[in-house]
A and B are shown apart, each in its own frame.
Chain A
């Protein structure tokens, strides 16, 4: 009995130790683990990973101040309501913004697909459409901020509706996300113009479209979490 266990552990050691060494060797040399992955794509994913941590810190900070606030948290459904045709529709602006951003993600996914098919015209057009959706999103966010600051009197340190922490987290989280969308629109316009001018046909490598797409989808992904935790919670 003891012998079999001993034999087993020693054989395990013989198998596991070299396997672990192999894993360490593969991962300590990027050319092994990420072989066949475009370097730009791997780098973009690692950047997005770091961005995930930034946004997660914001959202965790929001969770902390919200659950430790003594005053009641403002009702987001009412704060972000719009009066359309004499009727108060709760959260409607945020819902429209969500649909706009999802649509932009859809057009971007198709742009990447047409990029692989070397369809220069369709790729550039779809990227331009994506940028247009992105610009629409940022404009609506600017409208939302203006309304909140000038009509509702929300400040980073206080607001008339309740817990003063509301303003700080709102401006921080949506502001940082809006900045990401703005950068994304600029990036998309640059890549789209390069696509249109045939730059990637000359190099034979359309990866830049997919890499820009990864960033854009990430911006949409972050919004999914902001929408759920900040606006709907």
Chain B
């Protein structure tokens, strides 16, 4: 333990000093975005407009949380790549499962008399 003074690790964090107002602003934005996505449901917006709005607000909120609250915006590029690139693989899973779900749905609809 003596070989690794804690100062060395905490010194790297001295850069993480942001004014409190930044967090309050992000907090306010997250509130606003949540209220807006709730309003999408409340106003009965339907179809492609609904999905576009929901996903847009969702991605904006996620981006704010990860970049500001989780300090990803100020991290080393290597850490950003190590964490942000692997989840892109999930798009492959989503694509495969969309095909699978489509197949299961039509199998049920055609061969099982539309019943579950």
Q: Which residues of A contact B (CB under 8 A)?
A: 26-27, 33-34, 36-39, 42, 45-46, 48-49, 52-53, 56-57, 60-61, 63-65, 67-71, 77, 90-91, 95, 98-99, 102-103, 105-106, 108-110, 113, 116-117, 163-164, 203-207, 210, 213-214, 217-218, 220-221, 224-225, 227-229, 231-233
| Contact A203 to B6, CB < 8 A, known contacts A71-B116, A224-B61 | yes
* Cα-based distance from A91 to B40 in the complex (angstroms): 11
A217 touches B41 (CB 8 A): no
Question: For the side of the interface on B, what is the size category?
Answer: 35 or more
Task: State A222–B101 Cα separation when bound (angstroms).
Answer: 24
Known: A91-B38, A233-B51. A70 touches B116 (CB 8 A): yes
Give the interface SS of chain B, mostly helix, strand, loop or mixed.
Answer: helix
Determine whether the beta carbon of B94 is less than 8 Å from that of A63.
Answer: yes
Q: Identify the B interface with A (CB < 8 A).
A: 6-7, 9-10, 12-14, 16-18, 20, 23-24, 26-27, 30-31, 34, 37-38, 40-42, 50-51, 54-55, 57-58, 61-62, 65-66, 68-71, 75-76, 78-79, 82-83, 86-87, 90, 93-94, 97-98, 100-102, 104-105, 108-109, 112, 114-116
